[in-house]
Amino acid sequence: MRRSTTASLARRSHVAQRYRLQPQPQFHGSWTRAPILIMATFAKAGYNAATYALARPTYPRALFERILAFHRGPTRLCADVGCGTGQVALEPVLRKRFERIVGVEPSSVMVQKARDVLQREQSDEALKAQIEFVQAGAEELDTVLEPGSVDLLVVAQAAHWFNWHKVWPQVGRVLRPGGTYALIVS
């Protein structure tokens, strides 16, 4: 074996032991960790959502302007699914365009951090009333959003957590006919 390959395997083995990764036969021996275990980390009361927020990528204003240029129809409700600490929901371009924005996130720690950021950074009470953060998974959107109520549904860097067999029917229920679904990945 070449030295770089040996070093890579040793590093991979160390990472696998540290994070308790197991080879998954369905992925031909690749090292993976079940998403549910990672999400359990975000759900822990001691999880540091502030560190997460610092490491999370931000998005250029032009990206949202492009999404809004594509979007046609009403601008009553925008849903940010898998919102984390609320970076998309708090985006000024979206706030100016939509009457109401709902951030949906399964982690109570992340939801609380998003609410804290909203309270700390927004002095305008009307703006605070415009944005809401709720705790729910993407697989249970119909528990927090009315059927056919969402004009724009945005998922930014969260799609890899979803159980798509359950999410697609949920998206179909809450997105209005002709609504826009925007998936942001890097």
Query: Which residues share a beta bridge with 184?
Result: 156
Q: Residue 182: what pLDDT?
A: 93
Tell me whether residue 128 is in a domain. Answer: yes
User: 60 and 27 share a domain?
Assistant: no
User: 92 and 175 share a domain?
Assistant: yes
CA distance 135 to 141: 10
CA distance 104 to 114: 10
* Residues 98 and 75 sit within 8 Å (Cβ to Cβ): yes
User: 21 and 85 share a domain?
Assistant: no
Instruction: Count the Cβ atoms, other than its own, within 10 Å of residue 182.
Output: 19
The total number of residues written for the chain in this structure: 186
- Tens place of pLDDT per residue across the chain (186 aa): 444 444 444 444 443 343 344 444 443 444 344 444 444 455 555 555 555 555 666 788 999 999 999 999 999 999 999 898 888 999 999 999 999 999 999 989 889 989 998 988 766 787 788 999 999 998 999 999 999 999 999 999 777 778 889 989 999 999 999 999 999 987
Tell me whether residue 93 is in a domain. Answer: yes
Number of domains in the chain: 2
CA distance 41 to 128: 29
Helix, strand, or coil (residue 102): strand
Query: Which residues share a beta bridge with 79?
Result: 102, 153
Q: Residue 30: what pLDDT?
A: 41
Q: Residue 163: what pLDDT?
A: 86
Q: List all residues 6 or more positions away from 22 whose beta carbon is below 8 Å from its beta carbon.
A: 16, 31, 32, 33
Closest CA to 84 of 64, 62, 112: 112
Confirm whether pTM is higher than 0.75. Answer: no
- The parent domain of residue 6 ranges over 1-33
CA distance 83 to 132: 11
Q: Residue 120: what pLDDT?
A: 83
User: 2 and 93 share a domain?
Assistant: no
| CATH code of 100's domain | 3.40.50.150
Tell me whether residue 114 is in a domain. Answer: yes
**Which residue is listed with tokens 């939801």?**
111
